[in-house]
């Protein structure tokens, strides 16, 4: 992959400390690649240690700063805050935070228990707020930054078969708007990205059937598969100084589904 050569280069991202959650695979791994190839100082959090090590090995000789990996269960807020502190000690105050980690496991309405509901909120929503809370003081002292929260079009379609996930992804848009106004006076921009049906390895393995692909193409205006890099390139722009006047916004990357 030579995205840094074939696509836009953002000088404002060179040497910038970037923190990405869920960075070992899928859209998150594409973000790690793209930011690293821009010359950013990237740290990412994930539980998939093997995939994380493979990604680091892939990038070590291709970018100015090899990405750094932290293993952390994002549901454990105390451990997450500790990881954020360690990351800032390693790469400097975080100037770009990408709240990407999520889990879209399917679940039936009638099967959802209070415990499962709380677990889905912890996996898909709660850590976004507490990571913002953790890194924003350093970001403020450093003069500002950019926060990108990852939502989804699932709540706008709307989708069925995963109501807790849909609820969490809708709430992320509200969180984004609140944080944009909480932090705007400190020169911190907060935006949201809503991907559509992105063909990740996880999607291909679990749910990407010919029937589902036919449904996707029927709804999309652009008749091609969305790939992780389609999302990562928008996130790069929102992280860079090229988008310095943009905050409190939600951007859909779905080939025209909604």
Residues labelled catalytic: 165
Backbone angles phi, psi at 149, to 5 degrees: -100, 135
Contact yes or no for 194/254 (Cβ under 8 A): yes
Report the residue count for the chain.
Answer: 258
Name the token pair of 121.
């909120």
CB atoms under 10 Å from CB of 155, counted, come to 19
Contact yes or no for 19/84 (Cβ under 8 A): yes
**Alpha-carbon span 79 to 144, nearest angstrom:** 25
Cα end-to-end span (Å), the chain = 30
Contact yes or no for 3/237 (Cβ under 8 A): no
Contact yes or no for 241/146 (Cβ under 8 A): no
Contact yes or no for 147/179 (Cβ under 8 A): yes
CB atoms under 10 Å from CB of 190, counted, come to 27
In the numeric block, the tokens 């990237």 are attached to 42
Cα-based angle 132, 40, 254 (whole degrees, multiple of 5)? 65
């Amino acid at each position: 992959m030579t995205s840094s050569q074939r696509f836009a280069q953002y000088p404002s991202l060179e040497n910038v400390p970037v923190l990405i959650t869920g960075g070992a695979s899928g859209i998150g791994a594409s973000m790690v690649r793209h930011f690293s190839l821009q010359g950013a100082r990237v740290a990412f959090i994930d539980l998939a240690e093997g995939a994380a090590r493979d990604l680091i090995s892939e990038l070590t000789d291709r970018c100015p700063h090899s990405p750094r990996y932290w293993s952390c269960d994002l549901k454990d807020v105390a451990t997450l805050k500790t990881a954020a502190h360690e990351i800032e000690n390693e790469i400097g105050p975080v100037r770009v935070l990408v709240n990407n980690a999520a889990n879209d496991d399917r679940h039936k309405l009638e099967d959802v228990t209070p415990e499962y509901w709380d677990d889905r909120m912890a996996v898909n929503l709660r850590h976004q707020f507490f990571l913002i809370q953790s890194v924003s003081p350093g970001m403020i002292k450093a003069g500002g930054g950019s926060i990108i929260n990852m939502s989804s079009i699932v709540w706008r379609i709307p989708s069925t078969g995963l109501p807790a996930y849909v609820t969490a992804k809708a709430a992320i848009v509200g969180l984004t708007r609140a944080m944009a106004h909480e932090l705007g006076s400190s020169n911190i921009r907060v935006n949201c990205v809503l991907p559509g049906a992105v063909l990740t390895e996880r999607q291909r393995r679990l749910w990407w059937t010919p029937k589902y692909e036919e449904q996707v193409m029927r709804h999309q205006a652009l008749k091609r598969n969305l790939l992780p890099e389609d999302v990562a390139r928008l996130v790069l722009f929102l992280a860079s100084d090229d988008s310095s006047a943009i905050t409190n916004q939600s951007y859909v990357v779905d080939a025209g589904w909604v």
